[in-house]
Amino acid sequence: MIHMRVKAILLSTLLLIALISCAQEKKENQKETIVENQKPNIIYILADDMGIGDLGSYGQTIIQTPNLDKMAANGMQFTQHYSGASVCAPSRSTLMTGQHTGRTPIRGNKQFMPNKDGQVPLPANSVTLAEILKEKGYVTGAFGKWGLGFNEGDPNNQGFDEFYGYNCQRLAHRYYPPYLNHNQEIDSLEGNDWTNKVTYAPDKIQEHRLKFIEDNKDKPFFAYISLVLPHAEIISPNDSIFKLFDGKFKETPYTVDNKYTSDYGPDIVLHEYASVEKPLATYASMITRIDAYVGQIIDKVNELGLAENTIIMFASDNGPSPEGGTNPDFFNSNGKFRGYKRDLYEGGIRAPFIVVWPNKVNEGSISNHVSAFWDVLPTITEITNAKNPDNIDGISFLPSLLEVENQKQHEYLYWEFNIKGGRKAIRKGVWKGVWYKMNTKNPSAFELYNLADDVSETNNVADQHPEIVAEFQEILREASTESELFPFNTD
């Protein structure tokens, strides 16, 4: 009798192993089929200064984000995804090039010429995700904020068939500009003249996004949807969305007496931010508007019957900003993480990331895979069977999306930012190193955190692990190539 039971258990175990093996083989075969046969539409949505804690699926309780939460329920939510940088332009550069901030061409927010629109341009010899997909037969469109320069850096010169929005990210500090860029043309916005505010630019840009999807429903397309919201200035139309929050909070007006603040009118300073009477309600309405835009995009994809062959990704370019009247602490916008925009602590670079791909990515799945913006390019090249450019730092996370084996891991993730004396950070395994004021006469002490025990980075354990500190400092010295435009080794 005992032998029979043992035999039955062994047979059951063998059967279970066989079933698991078959399921894994089926998933691996599915991956092979995807790479060989499909050209899925790709929609990448990038919020601007939206904290990981601003989404309901990541813990937000004050503001409702039903469409983003539904994305998470219908797809995969990543818990350890990182933005490319802690500010706008370099984050976008890592996304487009697949290179981290020690190697990507654009490593900071820097005007190309003083008092002129446009940031330092992405070089002509850069190979962007859009160029790769265009060679694979995709129609490519970018809508929203570019921030990677005019001329050679212009989106039309970097692989995008169509661009509509703000090329200059300083102009994107204003939501009621007189014009937006449409490819090489200027599109005047009705009623806007730097004094009167009639046309809310994000709504106008959203119209072009939806039209692009409609116009290209019969072709494979890549839509790079770089939202401007909720970047300061904090301003919203007095519409039904704003009315959801008007009067809900005890407000402290943010006035022109504050630093870097200038109202619309004859004396406007264009690159500064407008004052705001009800900053909490306004910020909440901007997050809600993002969620509404996401819902409109998903509805358009469904309406056109494109859902099953469309990948939709959502992320944010860096952590929440405490500027222009925003109050990330009130909304817990950075969740349990330390730091904000411009910081290399987790709160400045840990990003929300959600991926929906019906019948490929399991509904309601969670991934703890450690990934970053520079991984998006090689993931998409693997999906579309395209060739990676040389010298990228990214690793495809397609195995994680499909929940198959053989997911490669980063040796480390690296960030640098040449402001305030120089900042660098590294993540390797559970360990996170942060080094501030590296190039000053009195550098800050190297900080080391064990994220497995201390994800909020409150307990610096550098003194307890000198061998890890030495290893990390050596990596931080070697991970970067010199940049004449963004020199790091200067105070």
CA pseudo-torsion sign 426, 431, 432, 437: negative
Quick check: 360 and 34 in contact, CB under 8 A? yes
Query: What distance separates the 2 farthest-apart alpha carbons in the chain?
Result: 94
Give, to the nearest 10 degrees, the angle between helix 376-384 and helix 2-37.
Answer: 90
CA distance 161 to 218: 16
Rounded distance between C-alpha atoms, residue 220 and residue 386, angstroms? 14
Q: Are 49 and 57 in contact (CB under 8 A)?
A: no
Angle at 347 between CA 342 and CA 353, to 5 degrees: 105
The answer to whether 468 and 447 are in contact (CB under 8 A) is: no
The pLDDT value recorded for residue 38 is 75
Q: Tell me the domains of the chain and their CATH numbers.
A: 39-410 (3.40.720.10), 411-491 (3.30.1120.10)
The whole-number pLDDT of residue 408 equals 98
Name 322's Cβ contacts closer than 8 Å, sequence gap at least 6. Answer: 328, 340, 341
**The pLDDT value given to residue 296:** 98
C-alpha 402/C-alpha 249 separation (Å) is: 43
CA distance 359 to 50: 29
As a whole number of angstroms, the distance between CA 55 and CA 65 comes to: 6
| Residue 114 pLDDT | 82
Q: Please, which contacts does 240-248 make with residues 24 or more away whose CB atoms are closer than 8 Å?
A: 241/285, 241/288, 241/289, 241/292, 242/281, 242/282, 242/285, 244/284, 244/285, 244/288, 245/280, 245/281, 245/282, 245/284, 245/285, 245/288, 246/278, 246/281, 247/281, 248/280, 248/281, 248/284
Alpha carbon of residue 414 to chain centroid: 16
Query: Which residues of the chain are modeled with pLDDT < 50?
Result: 2, 490-491
Closest C-alpha to 296, from 222, 383, 227: 227
What pLDDT score was predicted for residue 441? 86
Collapsing DSSP to helix, strand or coil, 401 comes out as helix
Helix (H) or strand (E) holding 88: helix 88-97
Length of the chain: 491
In degrees, rounded to 5, the angle at the alpha carbon of residue 343 between the alpha carbons of residues 338 and 347 is 35
Looking at residue 36, its pLDDT comes to 55
Strand partners, 354: 77, 314
What is the residue whose two structure tokens read 């959203």?
206
Q: Is 250 exposed, middle or buried (0-12, 13-18, 19+ CB in 10 A)?
A: exposed
User: How far is it, in rounded angstroms, from Cα 331 to Cα 115?
Assistant: 35
10 Å Cβ neighbour count for 169? Answer: 25
pLDDT at 491 (0 to 100):
45
Structure-derived torsion over alpha carbons of residues 210, 216, 220, 223, reported in degrees to the nearest 10 = -30
In whole angstroms, how large is the CA radius of gyration of the chain?
23
pTM of structure: 0.93
Contact 71, 298 (CB under 8 A): yes
Q: d(Cα 321, Cα 142) in Å, to the nearest integer?
A: 24
92 contacts 355 by C-beta, under 8 angstroms: no
